[in-house]
Amino acid sequence: MCKYLTLLTVIILLISFSDCSCKAVENDLGLWAPVFITLPINEKVSSQLEIAPRIQDNVTKLNQLFIRPSLTYNLNKFLSFTQGYSWNPGFDPFSNRSRIWEQVQLSNNFSKLRFENRFRLEERFIENISGVPVRGRYRIGAWVPIDKEKKWTFVTWDEIFINFNSRPQGPQGGFDRNWLFAGINKKISENVNLEGGYMFQYVNNRSPRQDLLNHVILVNLYVTLPQLMKK
């Protein structure tokens, strides 16, 4: 198992750094603390709410806030489809942003490994930007239990962002950014998980702005509520 995990980590690192250019870059330290609340409606359908503050500028200012409600249909235990909306205003100065997004997720569970592929498509609405920038996101990740009780889990994933079109004074088509995460997930109870770790974020900014290297302390709280409709 260790050799496969090592190989996966090497592949993720190569993906993460392959698109980094030689341009000058700016470094920043951030703290992101998303809360994910899941409400299963029945055996197939569940609703989710994500509330995610992002503090940047060396952990001194609230940079963005994401509020993401969504609805997921689980075709089976491996494949799910999600439709969501996101309101994500920016601050300092304030800018009004929102997006509609669709997602397909494919998961495989092995004896000591959960492997996940996720593709998300976003139609973004950005203040003072004409038209609708469209962006695709692909994430590949692995979850490996550390102890026999599976209360502690090592988590690693990589997510690449690609802009599918260009808008005047807005996002440009092509590679947008890459996120690489490694951390530990702790099962607090049957319905609550806490996850913490480090995320390296490379942002490919439009010239003349410098590219950005974000070093993010990422703390995720996952809460699953009791199923609404039971048999």
Going from the first residue of the chain to its last (231 residues), give the mean pLDDT of each consecutive group of 10, the final group possibly shorter. Answer: 50 52 77 98 96 96 96 96 97 91 94 91 94 96 91 96 92 94 96 97 85 95 91 68
The DSSP call for residue 165 is: S
pLDDT of residue 2: 46
pLDDT of residue 21: 47
Q: What is the DSSP string of 40-76?
A: E-SSSEEEEEEEEEEEETTTTEEEEEEEEEEEEEESS
Specify the 3-state DSSP secondary structure of 18: helix
- Is the four-CA dihedral 105, 90, 172, 208 of positive or negative sign? negative
Contacts of 39 (CB under 8 A, 6+ apart): 46, 47, 48, 49, 225, 228
Domains and CATH numbers, the chain: 2-224 (2.40.160.40)
Taken as a whole, the chain contains a residue count of 231
pLDDT of residue 110: 80
pLDDT of residue 8: 54
User: Residue 47 and residue 80: Cα distance in Å, rounded?
Assistant: 12
pLDDT of residue 230: 77
